[in-house]
Structure 1
Amino acid sequence: MTKLDGCLCVCQYVRRSGGPFHLWLHGGDETARWEKLCCIDPTSWPDGDWRLIRSRSIAPLCMYGKKILMRTGRCVVFAVDTTGGRAPEILFRPDEHEVTAGEFEDTCYPTLGLYEESLVPVGRTVEEIVFSSPATRAWSDVLKWLPARTVSELSLVCREWRAMVTTDRFIRSHAVHASMLARSPRVRFVMDPVGGLPADIDRTDEVYDPDISAMPFVCSQPCHGLNVGSFSRGLDFVCNPGMDYHEKLPVPVDGGGDNINDIFYGRIALGYDEEEDDHVVVRLAYTEKNLETRSYKLRCLMRYVKRQEWSPLPTPPPPRPVASATPAYANGKIYWLVDRALTPPESTTSLTMCELVALDCHNAVACHYEIMQGPSCSAHGRGRVSVVRLQGALCVACSDRDANTIDVWTMKGNDDDDDNAAVWSIEYHIELAEHSPEYTSEKTTLMGVDPTNGRILLNTEQSLGYYDPKTGELETIYRVNRMCQEANDGSGALYDGRFCAVICQESLVAIRSRGIKLSG
């Protein structure tokens, strides 16, 4: 007996005479009856084939089309036609393979069968074994609310706790519950991603003033516990600054001989693919760029964080040129600003409107880019425009250099089926005139909103401060050390260092197999 084509099958034959083979099928329900599928008579087969196949144990394996795959006790696999009259097709003989030659003997018991691709474990999984203890489950409910650094330190208490906090089940639970608590944003400084040390702002002895001649780092907002960043030399990296883990991303190898221009801030983006349950890194590069003719060619590569190699997206490159501005991830999509300097004038509907390019990260490999209309920035051309995620919503910050203000627009009424139907409204109006020259609209970027009091964290790469949109007050929590150096003409010259500050998201996600642990 066996299962054939989803039905119960009985193969009936006389061993000594070697046939014929009668195959019967039963549907399985109460009204079903036994029906003869076919009768196979091996007497019509060539003698050589019959002597090879003849065995005390013959059973069908599966049926495809009008053919039935069968096996013998000697592990010979052959296919026969249900219509009969045709010689069998020998598919596998152990004596023809050096690995299996002479290892099988004729037996009444099956020694060969089919298998299905499956990740189903045999017995209990590691997570089931770890969480089988009531004490472990109780401690899990406690530890999932603690900060990631504290959980990492407590994992050294005993083997049971370490096994628990390193399971995917606990990491996912911790990411949800630890983020539910209203805490002020935790800020860390990212220095050289190879030799530098990330440091907390309350540990200023570990912070040094980087060389003013070096271009600043660019690091994204957190996305499911990870950040992605770039350095001016073309080095990209992904990190979990809260856990002091980082990984240098390999430089894509260009086989087309193009002149790649990687040095722009919008080239690297980080999202999350819900289908793959993995972070998505998207890298853009210009292979051709001419501001006079507004012609360009843009190449796009992507990779999952858990995988090794870059791969080109099967979708066409973005239909609009991407500006040199840090992208943002919100609502399951990555958003880039469109570069108006490369956009043909006839394709721009209004000089005050900005455009965004969006890539849906749900099954990112199969998705396409979308163009959506941004807010109307009346000061467009007199300031900077940036895209940022604030309190989970997509926002566009438009600065006015003359008034020294920043208007923050929030996208509301977003419809997943039609992003163009989104409505933009001003959420914040930031006035920096009273806080100049330390804070100006041209060099100030928004990092996040403190959920405990609603203040906005501002970053100038030289100062960090909380701005209260209700009162207009600004509290500086850190500023870089300033040194006065003597110039050639004898006058005092002010030297200002710069830093790259990032917000850490409570997460235990780490690049385990390839990650580099930093001290700090």
Structure 2
Amino acid sequence: MIFSSPWRNAWSDVLKRLPARSVASLSHVCKDWHAVVKSDRFMQQHTLLHDANQNLLKVMLLEPYHGVFFPLQPMDEHQQPSSNRRVVCSSKPVHGLVVGSCIDWKGTSWDFICNPSVGYYKPISEEYDGEDGSFFPGRIGLGYDARTKKHVPVLLIYQERNFATRSYQLDCFVQLIDTSCHWTPISTPPRPAADMQPAYARGSICVVCSDDRANAMDIWTLEEGVDWLLGHRIELGDEYSSDETTPLALDPQGDWIFLNTGKELAYYYPRTRTLTTICPIGQRLDGMEVIPMFSKESLIRPY
């Protein structure tokens, strides 16, 4: 019924081409525009259009205590060095949504979901005591269930682990966004191979292997589900450590690899073997600690 009017269809065609923050502001102009913008059909059209037009990921800054976003800017006299808080975010947005984990200097940790393009932020789990060992890099991820059309956060928590024997007890939980605010336990995923991190690039599953002796990383790609091929080698030099570096995104043409070096976000260029830093991780802005956060245009605001 919302799109039965030719005028509303025309408004929809214009509005869906605008950035998410502009659309959110214009939704308050009148009831008709509000109805169009809040419809599932419009949100899907807006997301698909901007997903197709965005090749490079946009980076914003997040203050994780209060969920405040800032535009990316270089370090200046108003910024101070980072503290001991660790924040681990998902590698790429899913329809504009990003999940992450945060631990403060007291050892208290929590998980959150956000949409930086419209300033949306919400904790999605209770606080945990960091001393129990439940916090670790990459403990939370975000997927999408095409059958139910719901976004699905996945949370991994160690109940027990032994680094010497590589024995552990790991619990896995999922949550259906817009349906439930409770975590539901599911079967635990299999143990990964030692020193390998699974990742995704251009829809293909990849494995990242660290070469400690050369301080380098190899990205292997499973082509057509059959053969493993060495796609890229990242040579970090003396300034960065392969143990602390994580590939986050890969250019479709293979011209660059987006990295989290543990200290900074950076672009690595395989052809020239050079690395260009974008911003430090855990920096302070006007007294507030902020972290880099991926952003893609989207109007989705779950819960």
TM-score in same-fold range (> 0.5): yes
TM-score (norm 2): 0.82
Secondary structure of 2:118's partner?
coil
Of 169, 172, 175, the residue aligned with 1:300 is 172
1:297-344 residue CA offsets vs partner (Å, 9 max, x unmatched): 32222211221212222xx43343xxxxxxxxxxxxxxxxx264xxxx
Whole-Å separation in 2 of the counterparts to 1:392 and 1:146? 27
Aligned to 2:279: 478
Secondary structure of 2:63's partner?
coil
Matches within 5 A, 1:434-449: 436-437=238-239, 439-449=240-250
Aligned to 2:232: 428
Of 505, 513, 520, the residue aligned with 2:296 is 505
The 1:199/1:460 distance shift into structure 2, 3 A limit, reads farther
Displacement of 1:478 in angstroms is: 3.0
Q: Is the 8 A contact 1:182 1:451 kept in 2?
A: no
Whole-Å separation in 2 of the counterparts to 1:245 and 1:132? 30
Which structure is larger by alpha-carbon Rg, 1 or 2?
1
1:454-496 residue CA offsets vs partner (Å, 9 max, x unmatched): 322222243333222223333333347999xxxxxxxxxxxxx
Whole-Å separation in 2 of the counterparts to 1:163 and 1:155? 8
1:348-370 residue CA offsets vs partner (Å, 9 max, x unmatched): xxxxxxxxxxxxxxxxxxxxxxx
Q: Is the 8 A contact 2:283 2:290 kept in 1?
A: no
Displacement of 1:448 in angstroms is: 1.6
- Identity fraction in percent: 38
Of 401, 406, 413, the residue aligned with 2:212 is 401
Of 30, 36, 57, the residue aligned with 1:185 is 57
Q: Is the 8 A contact 2:257 2:267 kept in 1?
A: yes
Whole-Å separation in 2 of the counterparts to 1:478 and 1:448? 16
Of 95, 103, 112, the residue aligned with 1:237 is 112
Return 5+ residue gaps in structure 2 as ranges: none
Q: Is the 8 A contact 2:88 2:138 kept in 1?
A: no
One-letter amino acid of the counterpart of residue 115, structure 2: N
Displacement of 1:413 in angstroms is: 1.1
Aligned to 1:466: 267
One-letter amino acid of the counterpart of residue 43, structure 2: I
* Structure 2 residue 80 is matched with structure 1 residue 213: no
Whole-Å separation in 1 of the counterparts to 2:78 and 2:250? 24
Secondary structure of 1:175's partner?
helix
Displacement of 1:293 in angstroms is: 5.4
**What's the C-alpha RMSD, in Å, of the aligned pairs?**
3.3
Q: Is the 8 A contact 1:252 1:310 kept in 2?
A: no
Displacement of 1:199 in angstroms is: 2.2
Whole-Å separation in 1 of the counterparts to 2:219 and 2:164? 32
Matches within 5 A, 1:257-276: 261-276=133-148
TM-score (norm 1): 0.50
Whole-Å separation in 1 of the counterparts to 2:31 and 2:76? 34
Matches within 5 A, 1:272-287: 272-287=144-159
Matches within 5 A, 1:20-39: none
The 1:142/1:457 distance shift into structure 2, 3 A limit, reads same
Secondary structure of 2:25's partner?
helix
Whole-Å separation in 2 of the counterparts to 1:157 and 1:139? 12
One-letter amino acid of the counterpart of residue 244, structure 2: K
Specify which structure has the higher proportion of strand. 2
The 1:240/1:133 distance shift into structure 2, 3 A limit, reads same
Aligned to 1:201: 72
Matches within 5 A, 1:84-483: 128=1, 130-192=2-64, 194-195=65-66, 197-202=68-73, 208-209=79-80, 211-214=82-85, 216-220=86-90, 221-232=92-103, 233-251=108-126, 261-291=133-163, 294-306=166-178, 307-313=180-186, 316-320=187-191, 338=192, 340=194, 385-414=196-225, 422-433=226-237, 436-437=238-239, 439-450=240-251, 454-479=255-280
